[in-house]
Amino acid sequence: MNLRVVRRTACAEEAQILASAGLHPVLRRIYLRRGVRTADDLDLSLDRLLPVSTLESIANAVDLLLEHRAAGRVLVIGDFDADGATSTALVVRALAAWGFAAVDFLVPNRFEFGYGLTPEIVRLAAERAPSLIITVDNGISSAAGVAEARSRGIDVLITDHHLPGSDIPTANVIVNPNLTGSLFKSRALAGVGVAFYVMAALKRRLDQERLAPPGAPGAAEFLDLVALGTVADLVPLDANNRVLVAQGLRRIRAGRCAAGIRALLEIAGRPLEGLVAPDLAFGVAPRLNAAGRIDDMTVGIQCLLANDAATAGALAARLDELNHERRAIEARMQAEALAAVRQLRDPGPRALQRSGVCLFDESWHQGVVGLVASRVKDRLRRPVIAFAVAGEGQLRGSARSMPGIHIRDVLANLDARHPQLIGKFGGHAMAAGLSLERSRLDFFARAFDEEVAAWAAQCGPSDAIETDGELTVEEIALETAHALRAGGPWGQAFPEPCFDGVFAIRSARVVGDRHLKMWLEFPRTGRSFDAIAFNHIEAQAAFTLPEGAVQLVYRLDVNEFQGERRLQLLVDHVLPSP
């Protein structure tokens, strides 16, 4: 695919609105292109958070929780990813600190039970005799599991953020900003964000009724977990999520964070000072997610619940080992997937590439297919579903999509057109999961391709790379990099600034087998810059070192080496010079 650069724009008449905010000129341009219009839009203090009381059913959730505080047994059931792990740890920590008599957690092993509150998980949970089950980051698609729990006399509180299907569970209370008819102004909350709102409402009620134990922490004490889960789950960073993440980062930088987060940052080589959202996304989240992908997320939750550095350090080391194992598995699977993609053409004289791609291999690891789908999606710039064997003639698939193609709605349309084709499915606009009979894979792949093609026809070509335009040679500076780094948090729907420009490659070499290291010259200035394109080699069908004039899409980075901070260009795309 021939990629093309498209530059983000802002209204010219608004260009002076932020002039009085004292911002670096480049950062001011960036903000305007992301819809920031006034200095108030840059206020990320907690009082800018949407009021807790405006999230529907939250008062009923607090009533239910209080019924089980003194004599009940509360069991938190989470998802097996970082959002689920942080949600679980947050609720367990909060309830234990606020005087609940008995609090425990259970997370499904993805290889034995699959996702959500299934009847099988409820039967396992019943062995602990809970009076209340709280789901975090799951539950909205668990009608059968909720029915099983209620039939056993167990109350159920669902806290979730996934999109609901047609069959809404009969839980005692459901708190989900994505329920049909919800008026809450941030549908982008992650699972841990929903859990935080419920816990914040609970603490407020405990304080009002003077029920909180002396010296009990406030809900804000758990914002480190909220920041980690929100960043890890790649939910859109709308204004509300930016407050949650910014405040959580602030706590972590000050050292007021869970011992497990501190240990994971240390093992990832990410210092607390100057911590930014990408440090959580690329340093902590993969290690935490590795537990759920390779083994059991219980170890990840235990790490986040650890109260001392020694315990947290040992658990973080185990997570780091699992992450190394995950990376080795992913590298093999990714190489196999990209090899298959290079031959992925429909037969016929026109040999059109598919709009939506399905990949499957007998040997693929069920816990890693989502990462493979994401990598191949980035390579092809089209939706991808990677499947793995799930036993008993079933496949489990993990889908990743592109902006404009709502992958969960794609699956919903397929389910409506072809009843019984998909076993179960759920997810978001950009990511989803599903189960499928192995014998129906070929039919599903064709139907998926057709459905994605219909969506793609409405949202335009997928070969565009959005950038924030060109920088002058004076703007390509360490000062600018520092300003942009401090200007976050950046993330989904509030993207990290990237730029494009034509440079002359003076030298290029491969480092670490996969990365392209370059020395670049800005044309007609004599100024040169250090640059690196991570994982550039593995994405190429046939690789030759680039030379001469090229168009680069890049980000500015502060590279710390031997105590010295230097400017480095992080290159995302190397394109022919226009």
CB of 434 closer than 8 Å to CB of 424: yes
Asked if residue 328 belongs to a domain, the reply is no
The pLDDT score that the predictor gives to residue 74 is: 98
Helices (H), 136-284: 143-151, 191-208, 223-232, 239-253, 259-267, 277-279
Number of domains in the chain: 3
- On the question of a cis peptide bond just before residue 489, with omega within 30 degrees of 0, the verdict is yes
Query: Is the domain of 351 the same as that of 381?
Result: yes
CATH number (domain holding residue 214)? 3.90.1640.30
Residues 393 and 368 in one domain: yes
Residue 334 resides in a domain: no
Burial 299-327, CB ≥16 within 10 A → b, else e: bbbbbbbbeeeebbbebbebbbebbebbe
Of the residues 437, 462, 487, the one at which a domain ends: 462
**Has residue 42 been placed in a domain?**
no
- Same domain (yes/no): 12, 92: no
In a domain, 329, yes or no: no
- Give the structural domain span for 9: 4-36+467-576
In a domain, 178, yes or no: yes
The reported pLDDT for the residue numbered 462 is: 67
- Which helix (H) or strand (E) segment is 210 a member of? none
Q: Are residues 267 and 128 in the same domain?
A: yes
Q: Are 154 and 216 contained in the same domain?
A: yes
Looking at the structure, do residues 546 and 477 belong to the same domain, yes or no? yes
Q: Based on the domain organization, do 432 and 565 belong to the same domain? A: no
What is the reported pLDDT for 351?
A: 41
The amino acid that residue 521 corresponds to is E
Closest CA to 307 of 262, 273, 265: 262
Residues 198 and 269 in one domain: yes
Domain boundary among 269, 289, 322: 322
| Helix, strand or coil, per DSSP, at residue 156 | strand
What distances in angstroms separate CA 56 from CA 165, 197, 276, one per listed residue? 18, 11, 32
Q: What is the CATH number for 571?
A: 2.40.50.460
This prediction's pTM = 0.91
The answer as to whether 337 is a domain residue is no
CATH for 398? 3.10.310.30
Q: What is the pLDDT of residue 523?
A: 86
According to the model, what pLDDT value does residue 2 have?
A: 67
Domain boundary among the residues 441, 462, 483 is at 462
pLDDT tens, per residue, the chain with 578 residues: 567 888 888 755 555 556 656 789 999 999 999 988 887 888 999 999 999 999 999 999 999 999 999 999 999 999 989 999 999 999 999 999 999 999 999 998 877 777 789 999 999 999 999 999 999 999 999 999 999 999 999 999 999 999 898 889 999 999 999 999 999 999 999 999 999 999 999 999 999 999 999 999 999 999 999 999 999 998 999 999 999 999 999 999 999 999 999 999 999 999 998 899 999 999 999 999 999 999 889 999 999 999 999 999 999 999 999 999 999 999 899 889 988 877 654 454 444 478 899 999 999 999 999 999 998 998 888 999 999 999 889 999 999 998 889 999 999 999 999 998 998 888 888 889 999 999 999 999 999 999 999 998 887 666 788 999 999 999 999 999 999 999 999 998 899 999 999 999 999 999 887 889 999 999 888 899 999 998 887 655 566 788 889 999 999 998 877 678 899 999 999 999 88
* Together in a domain, 191 and 291: yes
Q: Is residue 260 part of a domain?
A: yes
Amino acid of residue 324: H
Determine the Cα–Cα distance for residues 34 and 429; give it in Å rounded to an integer: 20
What is the pairing mode between strands 132-136 and 155-159? parallel
| Closest to 84 measured CA to CA, from 186, 167, 163, 194 | 194
Token pair belonging to 183: 């008026």
Is 418 found in the same domain as 364?
yes
Please check whether residue 298 lies inside any domain of the structure.
yes
Regarding whether 257 and 370 lie in a shared domain, the answer is no
Among 178, 175, 126, CA closest to 148? 126
Are 437 and 487 part of one and the same domain?
no
